[in-house]
Amino acid sequence: MKKLVQPRFLKGYFVVSLNAYHFYYLLQIQVGNSPVYKVERKLGKGGFGQVYVGRRVSGGSGRTGPDAIEVALKLEHRNSKGCNYGPPYEWQVYNTLNGCYGVPWVHHKGIQGDFYVLVMDMLGPSLWDVWNSLGQSMSPNMVACVAVESISILEKLHLKGFVHGDVKPENFLLGRPGSADEKKLYLIDLGLASRWKDARSGQHVDYDQRPDVFRGTIRYASVHAHLGRTGSRRDDLESLAYTLVFLLKGRLPWQGYQGDNKSFLVCKKKMATSPELMCCFCPAPFKQFLEAVSNMKFDEEPNYAKLISFFESLIEPCTPLQPIRIDGALKIGQKRGRILINLEEDEQPKKKVRIGNAATQWISIYNAHRPMKQRYHYNVADLRLSQHVSKGNEDGLFISCVASAANLWALIMDAGTGFSSQVYELSTVFLHKDWIMEQWEKNYYITSVAGANNGSSLVVMSK
């Protein structure tokens, strides 16, 4: 049994130390001009941060929106991996996507104590939860509703220039039970989202491949993600195809692999499993959808309307009998209560679809090279300088330039300096001559230098 030490109370929260581990429990949260929320039960843990119920201490009305009595509080510690250089990357994505169809609203965000905090709409169960509650299987009608609404949500996300990067049942949530949106579908957890469209040029990002880098969830990731290829719109749709088959059949052919090479074995199985084999005993639209998305090119624009139309025949035409709202799909066009898509089939180029097991497989031979990277720090106090430099050195970076203003330091660290070793000294005197001469004897040479208003200096010497 590990021994608990006395809790330490800090402004609004206390910290319980458990030997080397720390568990943080915030009693109340207020960020920016948000209401004050009392932190209650934990809702779950995503790839980035943990989510809790927040209940307004006073005021509030309704079940959703900025005035809701209960909200979801997503907390991420400032020392977590995704927060080394400031707020979580997910914040940048929400700044662009807030209000996007199918993405939950972020009402407030800010810092309290050691945590970055997002205040979001409270939602209901995930598709994973619903699947479990239904005996680990969903009806074709329900999965078809999930399909058309998910495609519509992804289309709106893609129009904003992003791909989600981690499409799976756990990341699709229904609206809050008892609310007007309890049948509405939402896509959450944008921590792995990335741009398929360059924000400046408006062009598709360049293709690249890093087989030593994997992003996503092994079970649902696209084959391209396993192979380290740059994410694009096709990958979200391929992951959605695996999600739909899982919800319908309750299992995917590559489940059960264990060990260090699990990702490799799953990728190999995915590549060897044809749409016909994977979708056997499924209604025809599932095979059609998987064939279409698994044969897309890297920069191909999906025909979302056509993909939605595959599932039309499976959806119950009576709206009250639809277990999930399909507002996004119906906005494309509606006729007599059914989805209407103008496919113009005769004008569509015919694509050759590869089905069945390939006779041969290609192999990528890859030599990993350290990517060109650059990092900068500014307004760095004397005491924090070593922390930033040590972290950069761990990542293969060396100091290439230093400067000072108002007795604070700025430094640029670069992977392309060509240096093999580096030392530096922060001295209370300007250019500590004895230390510099000692380093010269060790074949180090001055590569950067800066002085502060108080007379101190930072000298960097490199080999």
Please state the residue numbers annotated as binding site for ATP.
74
Extract the tokens encoding 461.
């010497």
Distance CA 344, CA 309 (A): 12
Residue 327 falls in the annotated catalytic set: no
Question: What is the b/e burial string over 186-206, where b = at least 16 CB atoms within 10 angstroms of the residue's CB?
Answer: bbbbbbbbbebbeeeeeebbe
- C-alpha R_g of the chain: 27
Q: 397: how many CB neighbours lie within 10 A of its CB?
A: 22
12 DSSP assignment: T
Q: 93: how many CB neighbours lie within 10 A of its CB?
A: 22
Distance CA 225, CA 228 (A): 5
Which amino acids are annotated as binding site, given as ranges? 74
Q: What is the DSSP string of 125-155?
A: -BHHHHHHHTTS---HHHHHHHHHHHHHHHH
Q: How many CA atoms lie within 13 A of 431 on its CB side?
A: 6
Cβ distance 360 to 374 under 8 Å? no
Q: Distance of CA 235 to CAs 206, 294, 437, Å?
A: 15, 8, 57
Distance CA 58, CA 38 (A): 10
Q: 326: how many CB neighbours lie within 10 A of its CB?
A: 24
**φ and ψ of 41, to 5 deg:** -65, 155
Distance CA 37, CA 31 (A): 10
Looking at 166, 235, 236, 414, which residue is catalytic? 166
Extract the tokens encoding 177.
């039970």
Closest CA to 70 of 57, 53, 82: 53
Active-site residue numbers? 166
